[in-house]
Structure 1
């Protein structure tokens, strides 16, 4: 059953809803597996082999290998689960978020301290100002 999703009208935003949850279920389960030290070690030893143990799409696996978190999100990843990949790589959430915006960690931090991004251009396309 198709639901009305007016939130899909937000430019540059992927909303993690029930449909995205279904699409990314195995990707997110893989991420959660990284909470165990033994799994992190197995993943770091041979990323491709570890990913192949999960019934994820090839596109999802490649996004993980490329550390393309924006692509992972489009493919059903939830940022709170994806943070486990960053932690496995020794990266902070702030470093990950900066990489997702094309900013350095310092630029991202400064933007957030200054109040974040402007809402201009980040509203519903159909929204009247």
Structure 2
């Protein structure tokens, strides 16, 4: 009997697994650095230099430039680390959720409230 189970993909969803973790290591490490205010300031002052310091690849760099959460996730980003990146621009998890679902933030908030029943 196999101890592994086949996971069924959810259409439009990138599963954050070991492969994605390896793929996004540099991106997530950079985003984790944003826990420190000095690092957030350094990123804003020299975005290209800061990304180069962490070794982001072209796909990750493009996703950073676009400020697009779905691209960042596809590039190996983990939502928890990406929240640190989004915070630099005054965005919160509801902004990220709205981007992921294609809704405005207000529509996303209403959807969350409606789901509470």
Q: What TM-score do the two structures reach when normalised by structure 1?
A: 0.81
Q: Is the 8 A contact 1:8 1:14 kept in 2?
A: no
The whole-number CA distance in structure 2 between the counterparts of 1:29 and 1:19 is 16
Matched, 1:76 2:76: yes
Q: Secondary structure at the match of 1:7?
A: coil
RMSD over aligned Cα atoms: 1.6
Which of the pair has the greater relative contact order for Cα pairs under 8 Å at 6+ separation? 1
Q: What TM-score do the two structures reach when normalised by structure 2?
A: 0.88
Indicate the residue corresponding to 2:12 in structure 1.
Answer: 12
Matched, 1:46 2:54: no
1:78-117 mapped onto 2 (5 Å cutoff) = 78-115=78-115
The whole-number CA distance in structure 1 between the counterparts of 2:80 and 2:5 is 22
Higher helix share: 2
The whole-number CA distance in structure 2 between the counterparts of 1:76 and 1:6 is 21
The whole-number CA distance in structure 1 between the counterparts of 2:66 and 2:38 is 22
The whole-number CA distance in structure 2 between the counterparts of 1:8 and 1:57 is 29
Which ranges in structure 1 are unaligned for 5 or more consecutive residues?
A: 117-129
* CA apart distance, 1:88: 1.1
Q: Is the 8 A contact 1:8 1:15 kept in 2?
A: no
Q: Secondary structure at the match of 2:109?
A: helix
Q: Is the 8 A contact 1:63 1:71 kept in 2?
A: yes
The whole-number CA distance in structure 2 between the counterparts of 1:48 and 1:100 is 25
